[in-house]
């Protein structure tokens, strides 16, 4: 291949970042296959404990027992006493000396700046010098009680408009990168339960089950999906943001406010082997 | 009933506004029953045409043929030539002399002010003197081509994080008030189709069908749902917003930015006869 073509091919490749199987959790739900990409950036202890629980088959045959349409789908083994250790809060991180935070909106509406840490929507507070992951649709976080350090193993996935009041109050450690439509099929609690029982589905037969959850590198090659996420720093994604800020296409009568909601503009995912 | 109790009962009642059957469209999808509340406020001609099409059984056996997870589910009879008249754009309205817009966030992120017109999330531009309904999850709008006056009968429902770039560019005329979880079960286009065919589901067998759509007052009493929506001006809803702005509950470590996303705080719905 001539050098220029090779360079172009290389540039093209870097528009996407491959997701290592070791950072992926595959969950086979009653409703379909879901894959989660774990993020070490803000909550490494949560990733470590979650991965370890996955490997120990902790979540196999557990279920989504609290599901509120437009809010979250929460899963785990709420009712069983377990000896899983509690986790320290990892709601935010101190801005590292060389931060990989890429700003796309400043000022933002719920933070000084909004952008991405790797491919994860993130916020930044320049006064307190903190960064955190944002509760966008598909975000994965550990549930907890009133005490900030009470999280153990129950987790939730955001399934509606971003619940931004939970930002900096919960430890986010991943996001759904495949099968979000199967997450959206998870059985909801009734309106009555939402009002009187906080959205818990008391009839176990009506809970959507997690048949099994496995790390990508526990699976045979034939079951692994070849996933890649848009590189936030690369031209196509930056162009997408630019287009979003100006809305120049003739379709638009109103050209927009030039503000960006990072939860709407999350990096796209591609799957190369299906 | 003593007078004081009667007054209290009356006050309590006004926390909720009953939804007249004439403003409701019931849609029986393959995935379950969905009810839409129509809004005359900004797009009366769209409501008139949609209601008339519903009554003529136009949507019976039509289907959701373009469905992009995290964005919209679009339905109608795209492929059939039809003699349905085109609609004028009703993207915004001029602020009426006595506007029923209730502001809850000023400044907002995508508008000077955000709030509600009746129970519908709305924005306001104080310079151009316009108000409009916002593309929150569950919003119903008419699809169109590039020409602003090209809408006829195909419609979409927002199923993901609010696509705010469509505000003031599309005519919103309702929102889902019941069965949003059944909307979330509508079959999505494949990733390949999203990239190469704009999310159209070319295999008709894979499209979720609308078995029938009827106005509430076309249905026998026994099939009507008794729906009510929170009164945005009443104490419980205002208290909910106040709590959202300060996050004083001991659960919250970070008390929030005091900003409100109206799409997250849409008025709740209750059903009194199921």
Q: What pLDDT sits at residue A12?
A: 55
Q: What pLDDT sits at residue A95?
A: 98
pLDDT at A1 over 50: no
Nearest Cα residue to B101 out of B92, B109, B110, B91 = B92
Per-residue pLDDT tens over the stretch B197-243: 999 999 999 999 999 999 999 999 999 999 999 999 999 999 999 99
Interface check for B32 against chain A (CB to CB < 8 A): the answer is no
State the nearest Cα–Cα gap between B51 and chain A, in angstroms: 26
Q: What pLDDT sits at residue B11?
A: 53
Chain B, residues 221-250, CB within 8 A of chain A, namely 244, 247, 250
Interface check for A111 against chain B (CB to CB < 8 A): the answer is yes
Find the mean pLDDT for residues B11-40: 93
Q: What pLDDT sits at residue B80?
A: 72
Per-residue pLDDT tens over the stretch A204-226: 999 999 999 999 999 999 999 99
Q: What is the 3-state secondary structure (H, E, C) of A176-187?
A: EEECHHHHCCCC
Burial class of B138 by CB neighbour count within 10 A (0 to 12, 13 to 18, 19+): buried
Per-residue pLDDT tens over the stretch B51-85: 999 999 999 999 999 999 999 999 999 767 678 99
Q: Helices in chain A by DSSP H: which ranges?
A: 3-13, 44-55, 180-183, 191-196, 235-246
Cis peptide before A107 (omega within 30 of 0): yes
Per-residue pLDDT tens over the stretch A128-142: 999 999 999 999 999
Per-residue pLDDT tens over the stretch B134-165: 999 999 999 999 999 999 999 999 999 999 99
Mean pLDDT for chain B overall = 94
ipTM: 0.94
In sequence order, what are the beta bridge partners of B113? B124
Q: Do B69 and A253 touch (CB under 8 A)?
A: no
Question: For tokens 């705010």, what's the residue?
Answer: B164
Q: Write down the pTM of the prediction.
A: 0.95
Mean pLDDT for chain A overall = 94
Question: What is the Cα–Cα distance from A20 to B5, expressed in whole angstroms?
Answer: 65
Q: What pLDDT sits at residue A79?
A: 67
Q: What pLDDT sits at residue B2?
A: 47
Per-residue pLDDT tens over the stretch B231-252: 999 999 999 999 999 999 999 9
Residue of A nearest to B269 (CA): A191
pLDDT at A11 over 70: no
Q: Do A254 and B168 touch (CB under 8 A)?
A: yes
Confidence of residue A9 (pLDDT cuts 50, 70, 90): low
What pairing do the DSSP bridges indicate for beta strands A120-125 and A72-76? unpaired
pLDDT at B12 over 60: no
Answer for the pair B73, B29: CB distance below 8 angstroms, yes or no: no
Per-residue pLDDT tens over the stretch A94-128: 999 999 999 999 999 999 999 999 999 999 999 99
Q: What pLDDT sits at residue A114?
A: 98
| Share above pLDDT 90 across residues of chain A, in percent, rounded to a whole number | 92
Q: Which residue has the higher pLDDT, A184 or A11?
A: A184
Measured from the Cβ of residue A270, the count of other Cβ atoms closer than 10 Å reads: 15
Interface check for B253 against chain A (CB to CB < 8 A): the answer is yes
Confidence of residue A274 (pLDDT cuts 50, 70, 90): confident
Q: What pLDDT sits at residue A2?
A: 47
Q: What pLDDT sits at residue B274?
A: 78
CA distances from B235 to A141, A175, A215, B4, B239 (A): 32, 37, 48, 18, 6
Q: Do A109 and B261 touch (CB under 8 A)?
A: yes
Q: What pLDDT sits at residue A82?
A: 74
Q: What pLDDT sits at residue B273?
A: 86
State the nearest Cα–Cα gap between A7 and chain B, in angstroms: 25
State the nearest Cα–Cα gap between B223 and chain A, in angstroms: 18
Interface check for A273 against chain B (CB to CB < 8 A): the answer is no
From chain A, pick out residues whose CB is under 8 angstroms from the CB of B64. Answer: none
Q: What pLDDT sits at residue B266?
A: 97
């Amino acid at each position: 291949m001539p050098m220029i073509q090779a360079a172009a091919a290389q540039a093209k490749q870097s528009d996407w970042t491959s997701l290592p199987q070791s950072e992926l959790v595959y969950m086979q739900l009653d409703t379909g296959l879901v894959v989660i990409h774990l993020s070490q950036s803000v909550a490494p202890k949560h990733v470590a404990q979650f991965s370890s629980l996955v490997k120990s088959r902790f979540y196999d045959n557990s279920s989504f027992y609290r599901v509120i349409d437009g809010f979250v789908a929460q899963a785990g083994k709420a009712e069983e006493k377990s000896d899983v250790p509690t986790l320290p809060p990892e709601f935010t991180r101190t801005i590292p000396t060389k931060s990989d935070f890429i700003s796309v909106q400043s000022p933002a509406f719920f933070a000084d700046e909004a952008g991405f840490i790797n491919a994860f929507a993130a916020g930044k507070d320049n006064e307190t010098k903190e960064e955190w992951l944002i509760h966008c649709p598909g975000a994965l976080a550990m549930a907890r009680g009133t005490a900030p350090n009470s999280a153990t193993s129950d987790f939730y996935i955001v399934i509606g408009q971003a619940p931004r009041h939970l930002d900096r109050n919960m430890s986010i450690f991943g996001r759904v990168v495949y099968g979000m439509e199967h997450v959206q099929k998870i059985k909801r609690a009734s309106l009555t339960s939402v009002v009187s029982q906080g959205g818990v589905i008391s009839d176990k037969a009506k809970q959507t089950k997690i048949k099994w959850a496995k790390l990508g590198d526990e699976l045979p090659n034939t079951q692994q999906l070849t996933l890649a996420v848009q590189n936030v720093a690369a031209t196509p994604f930056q162009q997408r943001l630019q287009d979003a800020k100006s809305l120049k296409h003739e379709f638009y009568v109103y050209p927009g406010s030039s503000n960006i909601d990072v939860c709407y503009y999350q990096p796209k995912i591609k799957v190369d082997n299906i």
